[in-house]
Amino acid sequence: MSAVAATLPTMTDTETDTARAAAKRINDAFQSQGLFEPFWGRAPGWLGSTISRMLTLTGFDELPYLTCRGDEDDDENGQRSAIIVAFSASALVIAHVADARSNSAVVTVRAIPRRTLTGIESTESTTNLLSDNVSWNTWPGSYQLALHYSDGTDLTLPIGRYPKSEDMYAFESLRPSLLADLAAV
């Protein structure tokens, strides 16, 4: 065994399964949003390391709720930003990348303890629009949930039914635990 291989941490079978499941869900969600060039047929290089960082921050907890979103259009530099939002048992994890199409894109990953949730607001959309902070799509009759954290983070999540993302359905199982987070403050 080489010296380099000896220093690398090894994942348990459970951690490996969790990582594979998260990787598949994130990749599928990104593909459904059209965030990869069709001819690539694979995720950008940053995606695997991002998944690893997200799971490391949560102690390889499972992610009962996960969603991805990207800007609808490229910006003036031809870039398309994207965000991954996931909840584990202990944390809200947000990963943001400025250019989802680049293999060398810098990705910011941070975890916010779920116990720091300070407020929840639910609103119903009456128009088609993009949310002003993370560019989630809305449509008439859909619902959004605004989460407020003590560090000043405000996050808007779509909770209506959206046919392109099966992860939206997972929100129903997250709702009771969010209310428990709020009650614990």
- How do the pLDDT tens digits run along the chain, 185 residues long? 444 444 445 667 777 787 777 777 776 766 665 555 443 344 566 777 787 888 888 887 877 777 776 655 566 666 667 778 888 888 888 888 777 667 677 788 888 998 898 888 877 666 555 444 334 455 556 667 788 899 998 887 766 544 444 444 455 566 667 777 777 65
Give the number of other Cβ atoms within 10 Å of residue 180's Cβ: 12
pLDDT given for residue 34 in this prediction: 57
Cα atoms in the Cβ-side hemisphere of radius 13 Å centred on 135: 16
Q: Which residue has the tokens 């380099």?
A: 4
Q: Using alpha carbons, select from 13, 11, 29, 10 the residue that is nearest to residue 170.
A: 29
pLDDT given for residue 165 in this prediction: 46
Q: How far apart are CA 147 and CA 180, in angstroms?
A: 13
What's the structural domain count of the chain? 1
pLDDT given for residue 48 in this prediction: 72
pLDDT given for residue 4 in this prediction: 46
- Strand partners of residue 94: 85, 110
pLDDT given for residue 68 in this prediction: 72
Cα atoms in the Cβ-side hemisphere of radius 13 Å centred on 117: 22
Q: What are phi and psi for residue 6, nearest 5 degrees? A: -70, -25
51: helix, strand or coil: helix
Our CA angle for 35, 36, 37, nearest 5°, is 130
Instruction: Report the predicted TM-score, pTM, of the whole model to 2 decimal places.
Output: 0.65
Domain holding 138, by residue range, is 3-183
Q: What is the CATH number of the domain that holds 135?
A: 2.30.29.30
